[in-house]
Amino acid sequence: MGLKRLSKVDCFLVVRPFLDYFSCGDAGIIKKFDHKIFLGLIDILGHGEEAHKVAVKSRDFLAKNYDNDLIEVIKLLHEHIRGTRGGVVGLCLFNSLNGTLSCCGIGNIGVRIFGTKSRRAIFRSGIVGYIMPDPRLETLLLSEGDVLIMYSDGVKDHFRLEEYAGLLKDDAQTIAKNIVKKFGKKEDDASCISLRFR
């Protein structure tokens, strides 16, 4: 049953560097395991190669620890990149069996759900690797047909569903690409993870 349900979940990551830069300070990760999907988005302060190195270090850490408690993962990541320029991080764990989405993050990573009812996760302000308050866990519920979008502050935050007419129809890859194309800021790194629950 879990595998059948998991096949209804479609997700995709897009990362685009600051205009005229080759290296990006944003990074993301998608990991599927059992009937769950771990989503992580990282936005390191600044741009270019130095920010990219910390982003890769953070992403590699998440790739090894994605199946642990979200609060514990973000606390461990904080210690792992302490002494670097730091960044903001959003983590989500989606359970395809019951539609629950657990969210934990620090800083201005956007987490929004579009569909039957618009919802948003709110993270505490801070910088992972520098000054970080105790993270909190928030739980949201996705219904079939809903779309989850996670994005860095290189994407305009307050876009409306009316500004992207195909959002509730397109596949996850198309959604992530269009969010960055339509709402990405050229003067900043931009990243987006989209998840469609069918």
Task: Render pLDDT for 57-107 as a digit per residue (tens, 0 to 9).
Answer: 999 999 999 999 999 999 999 999 999 999 999 999 999 999 999 999 999
**pLDDT recorded at residue 21:** 78
pLDDT of residue 7: 46
pTM recorded for the entire structure: 0.93
Residue 5 has pLDDT above 50, yes or no: no
Looking at residue 193, what DSSP letter applies? E
Strands (E), 20-116: 26-33, 36-44, 87-95, 100-106, 110-114
The band of 176, judged by pLDDT with boundaries at 50, 70 and 90, is very high
Residue 100 DSSP SS3? strand
In this prediction, residue 18 carries a pLDDT of 87
Query: Taking residues 159-187, what's their average pLDDT?
Result: 95
Q: Is 65 helix (H, G, I), strand (E, B) or coil?
A: helix
Q: How confident is the model at residue 142 (pLDDT cuts 50, 70, 90)?
A: very high
Query: What single letter denotes the amino acid at residue 145?
Result: G
Quick check: 2 pLDDT over 60? no
CB proximity list for 151: less than 8 A, separation 6 or greater: 41, 109, 110, 179, 180, 183, 190, 191, 192, 193
